[in-house]
Amino acid sequence: MQVKIEKLDHFGRGITYVNQKICFVAKALPNEIVKIKVTKETKKYIEAEIEEWVTISSYRIPEVCPYAKICGGCDLEHLEYKKENEWKREKVKELLAKFSQIEKVEVKEIKYLSPYHYRNKVTLHGAKNRVGYYQPKSKNLVPIDTCLLLNQKINELLPKMKRLARENKVQEIMIRTSNDEKESLIKISGDKPKSLIDMKDITGIFFQEEQLQGKEEIISTIGKYQYYLSIESFFQVNQELTEMLYEEVLNEVKKVKPKKVLDLYCGTGTIGIYISSEAEEVIGIDSCSSSIKNANHNKKLNQVKNIQFINNKVENVIDQFQQDTDLIIVDPPRKGLDKKTLRHIIRIAPKYLIYISCDPVTLARDLKELKETYQTKIVTPFNMFPRTYHVECVSVLVHN
């Protein structure tokens, strides 16, 4: 069956129509004419794979990753990087228009840096004494020797992880490095390793929750600040672009000059500490105990006196805060804000709200809930996850 691809969907798949039904074609690009094979059909949609290209897009580039056709890690390895960034900005604009029901939102130019070697953290899966990534929509393992998305330090550690998997039954291996790549932590799930030969250069090694070797934390730098990190703590994975995103937030905070800031879903306290010099008081809240432990260490490490941290779910404590907050910063998980938190943000009524989101769909949904009380002034996209369909946004809202 021969079809013409009209556009990309929000997951980076080509869109066409077959018998008046929408059809998603993996790895296809707009204006390409392709012969396809249907792999799935439901009442509402069809999924297909390309059997042959008849016409190839001028924006298609050779896939430099040897695993691109079988690994589920990259969605856009075949698309020119400039076009990837243009598509992500348009994607944000389309999703905001569709789901936020806000008439005019200024979506600024997307900010981006290198498309490769940006990740400071990875989770490898294990099976049959091998480690790697899963194929798309399956648990079929793709063993890897290197990954273009990972920083140099993690790639240097991969041979040791392969040896560890050959000698032990491994389910998962999580690797985290500092942004300067000088320190690293690994966490092993599966059977307890019989030996840890040739791993003395790894800063800390854990088997599930048990510390086997080295330190519990590493130190990572963003701008002029240093941060302690545990293996499980939330920390931005893009070691290059994170400072640019934090500077965007800091610049907005400087305009506001807040007295009191609530930093919700604060993780290891990175943003709260980063903007602390521009506020009289900052309160960070996060449910992850290891993150809050790191945050309190980070407060001391950076000699920040005007910040405190609360270890609890945001929805459990948000009702304790009164209308004396100038600014709320939120950086929620992919599912966005829960209804109780939204309700209390509206009740607290800070003059300004900065919303950092890794999912434009849930961002748009939450902006819709807030639109009667807040005007969304600007949304700035950041390509924190190059070669994938994901995009991060910083939104600035002002109370009506």
Q: Are residues 103 and 242 in the same domain?
A: yes
Amino acid 309 reads: F
Q: What is the pLDDT of residue 104?
A: 84
pLDDT digits (tens, 9 = 90+) for 318-338: 999 988 999 999 999 999 999
Same domain? 312 vs 381: yes
Q: For residues 299 and 391, state if they share a domain.
A: yes
Say if residues 261 and 281 touch (Cβ distance below 8 Å): yes
74 lies in some domain: no
Are residues 143 and 100 located together in one domain of the fold? no
Q: What is the pLDDT of residue 103?
A: 82
pLDDT band at 306 (very low <50, low <70, confident <90, very high): very high
For residue 196, pLDDT over 90 is answered with no
The model's pTM is: 0.94
Task: Assess whether 285 and 391 both reside in one domain.
Answer: yes
Quick one: pLDDT band at residue 72, thresholds 50, 70, 90?
confident
Q: Specify if 65 maps to a domain.
A: no
Whether residues 250 and 277 share a domain: the answer is yes
What CATH number is attached to the domain comprising 265? 3.40.50.150
Residue 259 included in any domain: yes
- Look up the CATH number of the domain holding residue 198: 2.40.50.1070
Does residue 198 or residue 65 have the better pLDDT? Answer: 65
In the chain, % of residues over pLDDT 70? 100
Q: Are residues 98 and 242 in the same domain?
A: yes
Residue 245 and residue 365 in one domain: yes
Give CA–CA dist 334/359, Å, rounded.
6
Alpha helix ranges (H) inside the chain: 81-99, 152-167, 242-256, 270-274, 289-301, 314-317, 339-348, 360-370
Identify whether residues 160 and 297 lie together within a single domain.
Answer: no
The residue length of the chain stands at 400
In a domain, 229, yes or no: no
Contacts of 384 (CB under 8 A, 6+ apart): 236, 237, 238, 241, 242, 245, 358, 390, 391, 392
366 is a domain residue: yes
Q: Is residue 352 part of a domain?
A: yes
pLDDT tens-digit map of 255-299:
999 999 999 999 999 999 999 999 999 999 999 999 999 999 999
User: Where does a domain end: 185, 220, 255?
Assistant: 220
Confidence class for position 136, pLDDT limits 50, 70, 90: confident
Q: Are residues 195 and 330 in the same domain?
A: no
Q: Which phi and psi angles does 4 have, rounded to 5°?
A: -110, 135
User: Is 19 among the domain residues?
Assistant: yes
Q: In what order do the strands lie in the sheet with 352-357?
A: 106-107, 374-382, 392-399, 352-357, 327-330, 260-264, 281-286, 307-311
**Same domain for 351 and 268:** yes
Residue 75 is classified by DSSP as S
Which domain does 55 fall in, by range? 2-60
Domain count, the chain: 3
Confidence at 73, pLDDT banded by 50, 70, 90: confident
| 246 and 379 co-located in one domain | yes
In a domain, 302, yes or no: yes
Q: Residue 35 sits in a domain of what CATH number?
A: 2.40.50.140
* Predicted local distance difference test score (pLDDT) of residue 200: 84
Can you give the pLDDT at residue 45? Answer: 96
